[in-house]
Amino acid sequence: MALPLSSRRTTRRLAADAGLLVVAAAFILPLAWVVLSSLDPRADLRVKAPDGLTLDNFDAILTSDITFTPLLNSLVLCGGATLLTVVCAALAAYPLSRFRSRFNRPFLVTILFATSLPITAIMVPVYALFVQVDLIDTMQGTIFFFAASQLPFAIWLMKNFMDGVPKELEEAAWTDGAGPLQSLVRIVLPLMGPGVAVVTVFSFVMMWGNFFVPFMLLLTPDQMPASVSINDFFGNRGMVAYGQLAAFSIVYSTPVILLYVLIARRLGGGFALGGAVKG
């Protein structure tokens, strides 16, 4: 006998709720482990209540060599590369959005394809190139490569947001004598503030968690960012300082969280991927 329609709807809703709870648990449990282990003097791989609360794990990592210098290196690398990415993406997306050409679509498809290339596939030629041009083991060289690796998707995102800004506003500025660069800086970018914020946060987060690129391009320990220095907590023969690793993970994730909170507040808490602005 078939179930009534209301019963079937209830069953589907319960199944969907159960599936969402499983997904939520998959995200919450690792976060709970990080928070609890950072306060546990005898932390291990289990998610459990701490055996007494302590801040010794934070005291052990809050030193210049372990945390502050790597975090400063990460801020310099990711901040500089993010700024370069956003500026170049805006300059590249503007003509793609405002001027129609038969080459626009092939170009966009090409740069979108570039985002699908695995970073490991291009690191060997990049390393050889950096050795030839004397950019290996330099902060500026790593910043350039970070920006180049994020630029294709940043252009694609920026162009989609820019399409939502009415062109009539620029045309009014052109009649007053403004040039394309002036209209981009004074009209288009302010109106697509949420879009610029999304590109900024996305680029920064992708660079902040990148281990492989700085590990390959930087050789001096004093220049290593936090994404690489976190590997120091994994000792030999499986010995891991889990409590210190969890404490470092919390400190390491703080700049990304603060960036998102600050930008979200400035934009009224809105991160809409539509990016449309009605004139």
Query: Which tens digit of pLDDT belongs to each residue from 238-252?
Result: 578 889 999 999 999
Q: What percentage of the chain reaches a pLDDT higher than 70?
A: 92
What was the pLDDT predicted at 275?
40
Task: Determine the Cα–Cα distance for residues 34 and 273; give it in Å rounded to an integer.
Answer: 30
What was the pLDDT predicted at 247?
93
Task: Determine the Cα–Cα distance for residues 33 and 45; give it in Å rounded to an integer.
Answer: 8
Task: Determine the Cα–Cα distance for residues 279 and 175; give it in Å rounded to an integer.
Answer: 17
- Please state which of the ranges 36-45, 57-66, 178-187, 213-222 shows the lowest mean pLDDT: 178-187
Tokens of 61: 């990592």
Long-range interactions of 64-72: CB distance < 8 A, separation 24+: 66/229, 66/232, 66/248, 67/226, 67/248, 67/251, 69/222, 70/224, 70/225, 70/226, 70/228, 70/229, 71/225, 71/226, 71/251, 71/252, 71/255
Residue 19 has pLDDT above 60, yes or no: yes
Q: At what angle do helices 69-98 and 242-266 cross, to 10 degrees?
A: 40
What was the pLDDT predicted at 8?
72
| pTM tops 0.85 | no
**pLDDT tens-digit series, residues 200-247:** 999 999 999 999 999 999 999 899 999 998 888 876 555 788 899 999
